[in-house]
Structure 1
């Protein structure tokens, strides 16, 4: 059976979605399926984008038995929500074109956000006469409406119409929590086509072991400090200002250090805020590869999971499961009505 996966991000990009879909594709290959992934040229490299992509519109590669077709994508100002939304439409179109190169397929799989990938999967499904499965990681557009990033009534109606269209046309819809399933059912979608498949962690890689050999503390001068870490995307949804506020309240405790690791549209603003109020108990680090991320977990005394108070959709941040699998203590700051607090309390 031939399976086509459309994804905005794929390794070596350092994002939870890229790792989840890579692990899924890898396992499908091991089970005997022919898997093709359509994605963009990698961005957010630790160092820089490989020169082998310079001047190319697309490339074909092999990764762990996965057929990989990468397509060129434009660079946009991601901190401007409207432009970011436009970029998602353009990228989804480019991935659809890449999908045409993939040949015959039996099943097409994609995820949201970005929502327009569902339209690409539908169109490819029509041309290849293959059903598509829509994996919902976050309820869009409701999530950006709640954050105040989408206010235009016309654009809201267009986005909601697109959402309903994709739900109707998908053969199956997969979600990572029961709360997300109930949310979609409430939009008059047939419950029989919605399946809850919880996100996973690589238990072979993440081991709950206090004796983990960890040089991360030594390399980053963390010895003797009580480390409170946040590692991940620093975007609109994370609400990380509260971490800065907590650090300010605890600045007299010289042994406590807040470690913020990652990247995102809000990072520069957070760094500026820390400088403006002259805090010395916060350390910023750039995005780290997955193996270093594990070292960060084990170097931490407490791991933070935050969501903006206005995030009311039942999202479960992928980092939560990794933290819990590592056995580190979790402190969460988020709306109590979501599914993540239920997992923490269970």
Structure 2
């Protein structure tokens, strides 16, 4: 079985692709993969670390604001797209894939488009509640559209849509809480709040977390605060000057997230698709602070889905401060009934077998 996978730009497009690849390998150890991405996204480093064959394309995104300069850029984008389609066709004629899978990002556009023109079975995976431009465009050409959230269904041709969930969810289910505590210095006797703003961190979340430090010393719970490597040194200077309480652990990055998630009780985070899939698979209550800097404001829309189902509390970044965050965390952890309901509601939204579901859709396409 030969499979081409394409997705890039952000981890939200890359990690689901890798989760699916691992699931396919479990069932089909002899499967061969070719990952097509870009050199300037996160995917090159991440994919090559997985020892997967990687081939780069040069592709840029469309400028949505109207101006003479942007019109010129969009003309160049079309030219880049056509060149990327041509290169993708050459790669596929050599590799001869049985199926081509796109998980989002600009680079998936020419790859999946090329496959559709060559008559190769195609499937795209949409992680968010509101799809991006690339997947909206590709949905008219592909054989199947897999969605992580039911709310995305209405944006695509109904007859093509299958609800699979996000395959990344399946990878957090086997976390070891003891390993999570050992790696972070957490106590097993206290409830734990994990605060993180993604791999690079998020300045507004860091500012709110720092503002909580003085009050945290009086709390019965403990806090694991992940700053992001870019912000770590500055945060540690400020935390040391303020006096960091013993029930607060600060680290730059978490490499064993499944283990750590298994050890915590409440998560404060952004509302990216991967985070949402992990929280709901585990049934973890959350305080979500959506990034306002993403396309179509999709993080807030993701977060509002969980809020509407009683699985999360949403704090817009414009309303975030230490006092508000502390009050929300206190309210959730001090009310056992509310906390239990949030856990149950999050669990109902989860799709723990998402990787298996998506794998089955891929296999059905090949056999069709």
Q: TM-score band (shorter)?
A: 0.5 to 0.7
CA RMSD of aligned residues (A): 5.1
Q: Which residue of 2 aligns with 1:110?
A: 102
Which one of the candidate residues 72, 86, 90 is aligned to 1:100?
90
Taking a change above 3 Å as real, the CA distance of residues 258 and 306 of structure 1, as seen in their structure-2 partners, is: same
Unmatched runs of 5 consecutive residues or more in structure 1 = 54-58, 77-81, 142-158, 308-315
Aligned partners of 2:127 and 2:148 also within 8 Å: yes
Q: Which residue of 2 aligns with 1:20?
A: 16
Q: CA deviation at 1:173?
A: 1.6
Aligned partners of 2:267 and 2:284 also within 8 Å: yes
Distance 1:29 1:223 in 2: 35
Q: CA deviation at 1:192?
A: 0.6
Aligned partners of 1:167 and 1:173 also within 8 Å: yes
Unmatched runs of 5 consecutive residues or more in structure 2 = 61-69, 291-299, 312-344, 349-368
The structure whose residues are more often strand, as a share, is: 1
Q: Please state if 1:173 is matched with 2:142.
A: no
TM-score normalized by the length of structure 2: 0.55
Larger RCO (CA within 8 A; separation ≥ 6): 2
Q: Which residue of 2 aligns with 1:121?
A: 112
Aligned partners of 1:118 and 1:134 also within 8 Å: no
- Where 1:173 maps in the other structure, the secondary structure is strand
The structure whose residues are more often helix, as a share, is: 2
Distance 1:213 1:296 in 2: 4
Q: Which residue of 2 aligns with 1:37?
A: 34
Give runs of aligned pairs for residues 1-346 of structure 1, distance below 5 A.
1-8=1-8, 15=11, 17-32=13-28, 34-40=31-37, 68-71=52-55, 97=87, 100-102=90-92, 103=94, 104-112=96-104, 114-126=105-117, 128-138=118-128, 139-141=130-132, 164-182=136-154, 184-185=155-156, 190-200=157-167, 206-207=173-174, 214-218=181-185, 227-231=192-196, 233=198, 241-242=204-205, 244-245=207-208, 247-249=210-212, 251-254=214-217, 256-260=222-226, 262=228, 268=231, 275=238, 281=244, 285-289=251-255, 292-307=256-271, 317-326=273-282, 329-333=285-289, 335=300, 338-341=304-307, 342=309, 344=311, 345=345, 346=348
Q: CA deviation at 1:296?
A: 2.7
- Where 1:133 maps in the other structure, the secondary structure is strand
Taking a change above 3 Å as real, the CA distance of residues 175 and 17 of structure 1, as seen in their structure-2 partners, is: same
Distance 1:165 1:132 in 2: 13
Taking a change above 3 Å as real, the CA distance of residues 92 and 198 of structure 1, as seen in their structure-2 partners, is: farther
